[in-house]
Structure 1
Amino acid sequence: MAEEYVEQPLLERKKYYENCPGCEVDKAKELSEGQGVAFTKLFMVWMLVLCAEDFLEYMINATARCAKVRDFNIAKTEADTSSYAGYLGKITSSHFHFMKASILAYTTELFREEHQALGLSTVSAAWGIGLIIGPALGGYLAQPVEKYPHIFPKDSFWDRFPYFLPNFVISVVAFLVAMGCIWIPETLHNHNCSNESIDDATALENGSSRAGNEKIIQKNETLFYNWPLMSSIIAYCILSLHDIAYLEVFSLWAVSPRSLGGLSFTTDDVGNVLSISGVALIIYQLTIYPIVEKASGPISVARISSMLSIPLLQGYPFIASLSGLALYIVLSIFSILKNILSMTIITGLLLLQNRAVEQHQRGAANGIAMTGMSLFNAIGPVTGGTILAWSEKRIDAAFLPGTHMVFFILNIVEAVGLLMMFKPFLVEKKKTHSDQIH
């Protein structure tokens, strides 16, 4: 006779250990069932991502890279400026993505399952805001002697080091956040026994000894055979490449002269547009996205967002024909929509990745995702800058003249990522009995 599975009450199946930080977090999550999300946790995650010093330092310099290339007379022609700025962006990519891997795993463990969409949405929102606030800060604070001569006198320290101020400001903020990290709760289970710690933590997460035993047996299996995980990671890497290339192109295109199809913006102008986008993105990610994700699911809304991104992005070159207030309004609307759609896609894929593995595998899974993304992102700035410089040299071409070409190429990457979000390539993890009883 087949063994009969008897479902027990949830509280009877759970076991908590004293002096175990992971158990304390799990117990707090259980006691908060039916309650709203703790906004102190959201704020904590927000600041951890936003103030990753390497990340914002990189993004702060995104807007100022063209100015640096011009200041040091590196480019021989105006059209070559974007290309050299792209190479400079590639040189300053760094290891900040691996901090994001830890934060993603930590966020998934910190929030109850019904709040994980909001938690990961907060990570994506903070990441997106960093992509926006960074260049904005760079635009406002770089070259302070030229922009604020009544505060920063000429021939002073600030004149000799015109790009010191934005890096100093974010370093101070990052230091303060680092001090605050001392008080964030640990989610790692430690039961003072090498085997018991992992096994009990897995059984605790699964809610039953049978499901726990099955997953304990699988814990040593390589994550590379987990196709629901790997398919979402590959799509995530392709679309992340698109996003970092888009950001590079946007900043360089906006400050390029009108004669080359650009907008002739100053770094302050770029900062203003990106700041508006940042505010809209915050509101969307913290209010609208969790509702949309709950109604449609993360992958469905990601597919729709990717489809909408393609015609939106191809409309960017036509913005250069506008001027004055109309230019600012239309560009701000386009920027808001593009950033909202991008963060919707990325958040959906992050949810799929973290739901495709168990708790003890999430750190490694997010590490794989961030490693892949870092490799793709390393080529994003130089590729975007080089293609933009090439497109600006073919301003009178018959087919996709000028910047129409660079946005068309960005759309090709977007389309590849979109196709990867459909079956048979993308596979979602099927819910097990232990998943459903939660």
Structure 2
Amino acid sequence: MASSCDGEAAAAAPLLEEKPTAVYIEGCPGCAIDREKAENTGIPYLRFFHIWIINLVVCLPISSIFPFVYFMIRDLHVAKRVEDIGFYAGFVGASLMFGRALTSTLWGMVADRIRRRLLYLNFYYIMLLFNTLFGLSMHYWMAIATRFLLGSLNGLLGCLRAYAVEVCRPEYHAIGLSLISTSWAIGLILGPSIGGYLAQPAEKYPNFFPANSLFGRFPYFLPCLCITAFCFVILLSCVWLQVCLVNKSYSC
């Protein structure tokens, strides 16, 4: 008798259980993104472009200094011999990534607990400040300090990878993450081009930049200023960036 009842219960059970209906909380940015992903099954081109351009801006300050860092160290008169210029230039080039290596994990933990958009805006403010100050460096310690702070206080790269996964459906995760590598590679091309073309403008373009002008006194300020201006434009677009945590146990 018991076996027949079990058979009837199994026959009455549906073969495919219905999935629970998703509940979206009004005013929650994370719920808005989840609803958009459920309604739009295509590739989010606009959000992917935003990821691409933000990551490009992150790469430009890193790579733009390498064409002129040798001449910058020479003009700072920190090396006693010409053979020592490369030694001091190496510390300037490595200080940003050294700072990033120390704090990237910490910034990732912070991003999991507060709004990532606030972090994005904070990182851009830091980039605006310290990238500009680096171009105005008059001492070796100032160049080292600004580059180190630019790296240690900027954890944008790790947050961008998380954002690339958040804003698209699972079948597009590979595309979103590949955009990070693509924009980084393009940044490694554009950054040195900007640095090499715009450094020492008073010597290269004396008709436009006199020797007694600001760019004549600070010959490596112009490439930093151009990158800062580009960063400022992207900063304005981040104000409307819709970001939320995947884990709903935290506040959106």
Q: TM-score, normalised by structure 2?
A: 0.65
Question: Aligned pair in 2 of structure 1 residues 277, 373: CA closer, same or farther (>3 Å)?
Answer: closer
Is 1:353 aligned with 2:164?
yes
Is 1:270 aligned with 2:89?
yes
Q: Counterparts of 2:229 and 2:158 in 1: how far apart (Å)?
A: 21
Deviations 1:163-215 (A, max 9, x none): xxxxxxxxxxxxxxxxxxxxxxxxxxxxxxxxxxxxxxxxxxxxxxxx9xx96
- Higher RCO (CA 8 Å, separation ≥ 6 residues): 2
Residue 410 (structure 1) aligned to one of 209, 227, 233:
227
Residue 5 (structure 1) aligned to one of 12, 15, 20:
20
Q: Give structure 2 stretches of 5+ with no counterpart.
A: 1-17, 23-33
| C-alpha contact 1:233 1:353 (8 A) present in aligned 2 | no
Q: Percent identity?
A: 10
Q: Counterparts of 1:252 and 1:332 in 2: how far apart (Å)?
A: 14
- Residue 294 of structure 1 is matched in structure 2 by 112
Residue 192 (structure 2) aligned to one of 381, 384, 389:
381
Shift of 1:4: 9.2
Query: Residues 398-437 of structure 1 correspond to what in structure 2 (within 5 A)?
Result: 398-401=213-216, 402-423=219-240, 426-428=241-243, 436=248
- Residue 240 of structure 1 is matched in structure 2 by 59
Query: Residues 274-353 of structure 1 correspond to what in structure 2 (within 5 A)?
Result: 274-275=93-94, 277-286=96-105, 288-320=106-138, 322=139, 327-328=140-141, 330-342=142-154, 344-353=155-164
| RMSD after superposition | 3.7
Q: Counterpart amino acid of 2:148?
A: I
Q: Counterparts of 1:357 and 1:347 in 2: how far apart (Å)?
A: 17
Shift of 1:386: 1.1
| C-alpha contact 2:112 2:245 (8 A) present in aligned 1 | no
- Residue 25 of structure 2 is matched in structure 1 by none
Question: Aligned pair in 2 of structure 1 residues 370, 340: CA closer, same or farther (>3 Å)?
Answer: same
| C-alpha contact 1:235 1:417 (8 A) present in aligned 2 | yes
Q: TM-score, normalised by structure 1?
A: 0.40
Report which of the two has the higher share of helix. Answer: 1
| C-alpha contact 2:100 2:153 (8 A) present in aligned 1 | no
Shift of 1:336: 0.9
Question: Aligned pairs, how many?
Answer: 210
SS of 1:319's equivalent in the other structure is coil
SS of 1:236's equivalent in the other structure is helix
